[in-house]
Structure 1
Amino acid sequence: MTKPDMTKPTTGQAAAPAVDEHGRVEQAAREAEPPPSPLRRVLDSGAGRNLGLVAVLVLLALVGAATADTFLTASNLLTVLTQASIIGVLTVGVTFVIIGGGIDLSVGKVMALASVWATTVATQSFGPLVMIFCAIAVGVGAGMVNGLLIAYGRIVPFIVTLAMLISAQGLAEQISGRRSQIVTDPVIAGIANTRLLGIPLLVYIFAAVVAVGWVVLNRTTFGRRTFAIGGNPEAARLAGLDVKRHTILLYMVSGLCCGIAAIMIASLTTTGSSTHGTLYELDAIAAVIIGGTLLSGGRGTLVGSILGVLVFTTITNLFVLNNLATEVQNIAKGAIIVVAVLIQARAQRSSG
């Protein structure tokens, strides 16, 4: 009598499950890796990254004090804050979009388009309230178009916002005839020159936008949904969230910030111009990145983004005070972005 072959499964007997070699190797690697130290856990957290940016600002202040006598003067520090205010307002909107899993390359030129539309002779003839309304309406409208194309057109955010950047630039040039439009309204022109307790009104506007943005992001349902959709849009959809509508709202928030920034830059320069906002989108995105917000979405802090804006603005101020070339300044900014991304990658591996 022939003995059955014990190496083969008999009828009704399930085959042995295949071994997931890749999963086994990853599991062994995780078990072999030593647990992170308390210091490393703190540095990888949001608070730790913010403290690191504060330390960078302190280091830059020390360098500034050692290399330029005027760096730590009150007038220069207010100059830094004023320069940071416009890009800072744009950065608030970009932070919302990136945490929500998107990207917005159009903020600089949407701001320029809003400034041009708000400073035409026809618009200025209706007074400052209409100018402010037009700037905000243009920004929110452009954001809505971005959101609709991304949510319902299913086009990649990079492509949509890049197309909006080009279109906004062309429309701004068409409206202005490639000429700077002078702000003749005294109320709008006086915003940048107004000071309260010695601090420019632009800084107060910047602080107000940041405060409102922080509350919305961290203390409202809208903020919690933003993190959820950025972390896993499919899981958010299955949980009952309207991902498409929320995506549109995120880009409208970014557009709203563009409209506010347009009034600020029109007041600061007393002009509306298609040249406003050139490369501002890159500065805003870079500030968000070094502030600890993941480009893949789902994690980030508004405080970190604002600290990133202050770091870049302080570096620019240091280079100006020391008469250093713009090329070197751009190299330094690029190096900072690379280091920030490397730190993010390390934090992701640690959390994984």
Structure 2
Amino acid sequence: MTERTETAAPAAAAPPADRPTPVSPAPAGAPAHKGAGAPGNGNGRWSGDAGESFRRNLGLVGVLVVLIIIGIITRPDLYGDMNWVGDNIMSILTLASVVGVVTVGMTFVIIGGGIDLSVGAIVALAGVWSTTVATQSYGAGGMIFTAIVVAVCVGLVNGFLISYGRLVPFIATLAMLVAARGLAAEISDKQTQVSNNATINGIASNDILGIPVLVYILAGVVAAGWVLLNRTTFGRRTVAVGGNPEAARLAGINVRRHSMLLYALSGLCCGIAAIMLTAQANSAQAAMANLYELDAIAAAIIGGTLLSGGRGTIVGSLLGVIIFATITNLFAINGLSTEAQNMVKGGIIVAAVLVQQFRFKSLTQLLARNKLSSTN
């Protein structure tokens, strides 16, 4: 917008070099942002930004259907038992629950133009700190409070180093990955710490109306993340900061503070995940949540979140997590190796990035040309 204003104006009317060109406000009724579910140019469900999210999520559902069909073909004996199918669905959702919570926070960070390689280490540190003898003496409330506070504080440190220390997100979070793992090992003396709290352990073993509590926690975090991204000023600012930080700054957004809050939000999700993972294992150790950062990033990419920032959806990220959990389940019931599973996951990640590049560049340009031709 600034470049068009300067080009159209005569040279004599150009603003002084030390004064920024004002940014014109959006027209009344125009969407506040695009990319996180906002409608695009009124072209309906199947075109524009909102249409892109819908088509992408529909495609992910199609991938899930294909995986289910593969399971039916390879193990018809299991899929012929409806009771087993119901239990298997709950197993997949339970498997996806912890990584899914971490992925929600990661999605916000990536949409905001960052990356967080320390999420697995933060989960481990929060889990170890919350299962020390001193912390467990305060009961379930003390353990949950400790895990969340520790994780949020580490996230704030990440955000401060990146926003105010001007460190590259990759370097800052990589350093935190090493430091947090080391601190967790120091606190636990490299030993597995057993959780003796029945309330915490019951989070993984109890269910409500046949649905595990872990799945309810995942659903609650996803719902909260969706509302935060699509229905609040915080979400609109996240998309703006990730799409064009300089334009966001000129629009009055405190980009540094907002970026720091995004990493704190990622830490909050890690704290919740730490309690969930501790409940599943009835223990915590410095090596827990290994490579969760890669799983979360991969799921977000599969869900359509752009690594360059400015675009992504919580629903898409959730579908990405479920797809990976379904693949893991499919390989397990067929007795296939973990190595083959990892190769398939790697291929899916590469394919998803290639599809993103085609959709958001080639296809967008093609639609723009077709629209221009039709108007002429």
TM-score by length of 2: 0.82
Larger radius of gyration: 1
**Residues 246 and 43 of structure 1: is their aligned pair in 2 closer, same or farther, counting only changes over 3 Å?**
closer
* 2:197 is equivalent to residue 189 of structure 1: no
- Tell whether 2:132 aligns with 1:124: no
- The partner residue of 1:158 within 170, 173, 186 is 170
Q: Where do 1:71-86 residues align within 5 Å?
A: 73-86=85-98
Q: Which position in structure 1 is the counterpart of 2:121?
A: 109
SS class of match (1:311): helix
Deviation at 1:39, TM superposition (A): 7.7
Structure 1 stretch 145-154 or stretch 340-349: which is displaced more?
340-349
SS at match of 2:78: coil
Q: 1:170 to 1:298 in 2, by over 3 A?
A: same
Residue 62 of structure 1, aligned match among 53, 63, 69: 69
- After superposition, the C-alpha distances for 1:44-68 in whole angstroms (9 at most, x for unaligned) are 8111110000000011011112212
Match of 2:286 in 1: 274
Q: 1:283 is matched with which residue?
A: 295
User: How many angstroms apart in 1 are the aligned matches of 2:219 and 2:50?
Assistant: 26
Runs (4+) of structure 1 moved beyond 2 Å?
38-44, 68-72
1:45 alignment partner in structure 2: 52
> What is residue 360 of structure 2 aligned with on the other side?
348
1:76: how far off? 1.2
Within the candidate set 113, 135, 140, 2:147 is matched to: 135
Distance 2:111 2:48 in 1: 22
Contact 1:43–1:49 under 8 Å retained in 2: no
CA contact (8 A) 2:301 2:307 kept: yes
Q: Which residue of 1 aligns with 2:348?
A: 336
Contact 2:305–2:313 (8 Å) recurs in 1 = yes
> Do the aligned partners of 2:46 and 2:55 also contact (CA within 8 Å) in 1?
no
Counterpart amino acid of residue 242 in structure 2: G
Q: Which residue is 2:244 aligned to? A: 232
Residues 255-300 of structure 1 deviation map (CA, whole Å, 9 limit, x = unaligned): 0000000000000110011111101110100000011010000011
Q: CA deviation at 1:42?
A: 9.2
- Check conservation: 2:46, 2:52, Cα contact below 8 A: no
Contact conserved, 1:101 with 1:298, CA < 8 A, in 2? yes
Query: What letter corresponds to residue 185 of structure 1 in structure 2?
Result: N
Unaligned runs of 5+ residues in structure 1 are 1-37
Rounded to whole Å, the distance in 1 between the matches of 2:332 and 2:175 is 33
Listed one character per residue, the Cα deviations across residues 230-249 of structure 1 (whole Å, up to 9, x for unaligned) are 00000000111000110010
Q: Aligned with 1:300: secondary structure? A: coil
Q: Does 1:299 align with 2:311?
A: yes
Q: Point out where structure 2 has 5 or more consecutive residues left out of the alignment.
A: 1-44, 366-376
Q: Which amino acid is the alignment partner of residue 346 of structure 1? A: F
Look up the match of 1:312: 324
Q: 1:43 to 1:137 in 2, by over 3 A?
A: closer
- How many correspondences in the alignment? 315
Post-superposition CA distance 1:111-159 (Å, at most 9, x none): 0110000001110011110100000001100100000000000000000
